[in-house]
Structure 1
Amino acid sequence: MPSALPDGEAVPEDGSLPPEALDGAAGRPLGFYLHVPYCATRCGYCDFNTYTAAELRRGSGREVTLASRDTYAANLVEEVRLARKVLGDDPRPVRTVFVGGGTPTLLPAADLVRMLSAIREEFGLADDAEVTTEANPDSVDPAYLAALREGGFNRVSFGMQSARPHVLKVLDRTHTPGRPEACVAEAQAAGFDHVNLDLIYGTPGESDDDWRATLDAALGAGPDHISAYSLIVEEGTGLARRIRRGEIAPTDEDQHADRYLIAEEALTAAGFSWYEVSNWATTDAGRCRHNDLYWRGADWWGAGPGAHSHVGGVRWWNGKHPAAYAAALNGGRSPGVGREVLSAEDRRVERVMLELRLSDGCPLELLAPAGAAVAARAVTDGLLDPAAHAAGRAVLTLRGRLLADALVRDMVD
């Protein structure tokens, strides 16, 4: 099941923000995340806020109607219009749009274009706006990709995960090996500027050779961006239940570290450079600018069930079920169900936690005295780059990337 939402104070019915959240807004980038909560099947490792057709049919007749894919684009457009009202005369054109899920490409291409068009009409898009959609390899074809490109999308991210059939089976992925690579060629032929492949390492039953084969296949497809994530077994997922029953054995931290080193070696040799612990690109232009908004604490509006937003130090989140989301918008109310106003200390800690994962690191001036002492020891231990430290920044070494989560905790505790 999808993970639970955090606690928080109530969101006003009109979605209004404290006035101070918009102070200085003109100087901050603005992006949109659009969540599409539908999937054809539920992958065993996934705890995202997604729903299959069978799961949505379990509600009452009205709930099923409200949660329908057929009306989803119209509901999301209503939230974009709400965003315009909440942000008022905000002059900022939107710099990035990211459509995620779920499987956004289960909707007709025309629906995704309609959602993007609403942002363009209400806010305007920057001339160089990055517009991304996620896609499952078995949910698109050349005509679909061409329609997206014509509609204004210029970046696409395909969920490849692995090139090995037995690994895909453990993950409950439905595409066949080779299909993601074909999708890269189809997207490039359709005129997409940037193409990403998402990979996962550390799946039970995966060997080092399996992982090398996946990297070779991904690199051979010719994307300009690759994301490689360590598998996290989330409580409540099908994969967690299989491991608990002893049907499959989990991989350990040492194996995950070995896979990361294999990825770094292969990707670097192929001309990719890391710019965030789990992300590599062939050029600066190929980096995901939308994710950079998150990592650097900029402003974004998350539209859709369960989506999170952040504007000027205020974070809020929508109700999770598509029917409840639609009912709120149809009733003229914000779909937000909770929010928090971040303190200066909250924002400082978040900056350290997120910016340390970037290749240019975080300023040492963000650290409290205890955190600065941890950073100094990390230089001695080979986890932080000494030259960068001397210049006033905390920048992870390769060994530091392997221990990034633990180091961040030590630096902010």
Structure 2
Amino acid sequence: MNDTDGTERDHPLHSFGQPVRDRRQLLTKALWIGIWLVFLASPVRDLVESERSGVATALGWLGLAAFVVCYLSVVFRYTAKVLDWRVVRWSLAALLALAVVLSFAFGTAWLGLFVYVAVSAGAVLPMGQAMWVIPAVTGVMVAVGLRTDSLGDLLGSLAVLTLLVGFAMTGVRQLVRTTIQLRQARATVAQLAANEERLRLARDLHDLLGHSLSLITLKSELAGRMLPDHPDKAAQQVADIEQVSRQALVDVREAVSGYRRRTLAGELAGARTALAAAGVEADVPLEAPAELPGEEGEAALAWALREAVTNVVRHSGARRCTVAFSSRQTLDGPIVELSVEDDGGGGSGAAQGNGLTGLAERLAAVGGVLETGPAGRRGFRLAARVPRGQGAAGDREASALGSST
């Protein structure tokens, strides 16, 4: 976990309304909530300085203690999530009843208790309910205070303060819950990103190992057939197997590290080797087309070529395979198309396997499309199209401009 996450977790607003996990959070939360206890100064001073009987003073301390305990239990436990609304409603009712009784019994100095009732309502009630409960609490406070104070004095002091503090608490509560939702959303996004990376890795490993292992299998069979009569040719096949296996190991390491990028030039050479090893007559261009669709588009076409050739070698039973590139203008803009066509019996392409499904996802990620289907009476054709962006051409033009200047 990074330092930023730790800072956010320790911030009072982030721990406010959350279950306490350690002593530090308990102290932080107590300090944050204890700030509001400043309004108890008037009742405490009244109990200390006023001349009352011992019984009245004891009842006053007992009532004040019960009020504080009820208030703290509400704001400590129910700010972020309410599991039992009956407990919350009874607690708020008890707070209001204690505030009314204590204010009637001991006078104006105790009207500040209504501020705590408004704070509790703003902290735990939904916004729709808090919007009318807080004014109602303020109205009760004004009605109780009219016994000893004038309406103007009450409205100009405690009434306004009770409204402002109560509604401010609704804002704090909304901020707390929004923060919790954002944290949960961030965790969800991280989980989705991890799932997407696992999907990418699975797709890459399928494409890499499917091609390489098919080629190793073919060359192993060839080496086995050549070994009795042509040991020198068999040794060459074994050397090719070693080279392919080493390259497969490199590809897997790069795929796991996330740094590999396939190129059309490399895949064209690999396609010629794989088709020749499988005994398929190959019509494959010697070079990649001059107009490439940028790095991402080229990588997508390279994966398409690898997957298509792998399917030809493994499933088609073809005698001939043709690879071709074309570049043309469409209604959606210029595109580069790769087509791989064979004369085997590879199927109609209606039911796509994992390889073609992953390939379609790769192409879609760069704005391309994949088409598969029969070619003539007996063949199979794969066509991959990607937009021809300004990628490589733009880089070459920028390099030329930089050289000329």
Taking structure 1 as the reference length, what is the TM-score of the superposition?
A: 0.21
Report 1 or 2 for greater relative contact order, CA contacts < 8 Å, sequence distance ≥ 6. Answer: 1
TM-score, reference length from structure 2: 0.21
Which has the greater radius of gyration? Answer: 2
User: Which is strand-richer, 1 or 2?
Assistant: 1
